[in-house]
Amino acid sequence: MTESLKTSGLSVPEQMSSLPSIIAIDGPAASGKSTLGLKLAQALGYLFFDTGVMYRAVTWLVLSRGVDVNDEVAVTALAEETPIEVAPASESDGRTSDVVVDGRDITWETRLPEVERNVSVISAYRGVRAALSRQQRRIGLRGRIVMVGRDIGTVVLPEADLKIYLIAAAEERARRRYDEILARGGSAIYPEILAKVIERDRIDSTRDVSPLRPAEDAVMLDSDKLNAEEVFERVLALCR
């Protein structure tokens, strides 16, 4: 694509229109999807949309209302009837977006350990996925978007112009999540974080509905071998 741009003699706005409009980034827990997605969206002037926060928001709602996480019917009803607003970050406190439910900002609540422990069970429910992916698809089809999740390239937006699938060893991903928690002033035990990451990967990739897997036309990037900046540079080069 770079070559045709160089030789095309197009003006900047015309060149811009040849950028991929819908960019899907998928991969397992803590593989660096949000870091990459946010940076890429900022560089291209696109909307960044992290779909994981919607599954986390439903999980928080279920726990805070005292609904049994194993009650698929009740959990699905909550996911269907509660509007979840995801908006660009309004505060620079480390958040990548705002998550608002019932008028309440629950951005940081969605990161709580009890949400993390239960989110994969809830996101395996067919009705929950249907309700959330419908909203995600509607937003994604507007274009000029970087959408991040587990099933964006395979199910939510299979027509995405560019699909990236990030991989990294579980130990490396757990170390990043551990560092993130400590950087936010929290406390964590590394072996416990590692066990949780492995368990979440297992549930996400073995569920019946939209399991975590790369789309056939996804570009695979191994972030064990590349730092965040290098991953970003590679993806930016794929866009141009």
Work out how close the CB of 211 gets to ligand CDP at its nearest, in angstroms, rounded to a whole number.
Answer: 9
Count of beta carbons in the 10 Å neighbourhood of residue 41: 21
Quick check: 55 binds ligand CDP (CB under 6 A)?
yes
Who contacts 27 (Cβ-Cβ below 8 Å, separation ≥6)? 33, 150, 164, 165, 166, 167, 168, 212
Give the x/- contact pattern for ligand CDP in 77-116, rule: CB under 6 A: ----------------------------------------
Give the x/- contact pattern for ligand CDP in 188-207, rule: CB under 6 A: ------------x---x---
User: Distance between terminal CA atoms of the chain?
Assistant: 6
Quick check: 62 binds ligand CDP (CB under 6 A)?
no
Among 37, 39, 51, 96, binds ligand CDP (CB under 6 A): 51
CB of 18 or CB of 34, closer to ligand CDP: 34
Among 57, 78, 106, 119, binds ligand CDP (CB under 6 A): 119
Are the CB atoms for 52 and 212 separated by under 8 Å? no
Are the CB atoms for 11 and 148 separated by under 8 Å? no
Element (H, E) at 149: strand 145-149
Structure tokens given for 85: 């607003």
Among 76, 123, 154, 223, binds ligand CDP (CB under 6 A): 123
Edge-first strand order for the sheet with 162-167 is: 47-50, 145-149, 22-26, 162-167, 219-222
Quick check: 150 binds ligand CDP (CB under 6 A)?
yes
The binding site for ligand CDP (CB under 6 A) comprises 29-30, 34, 51-52, 55-56, 119-120, 123, 149-151, 200, 204
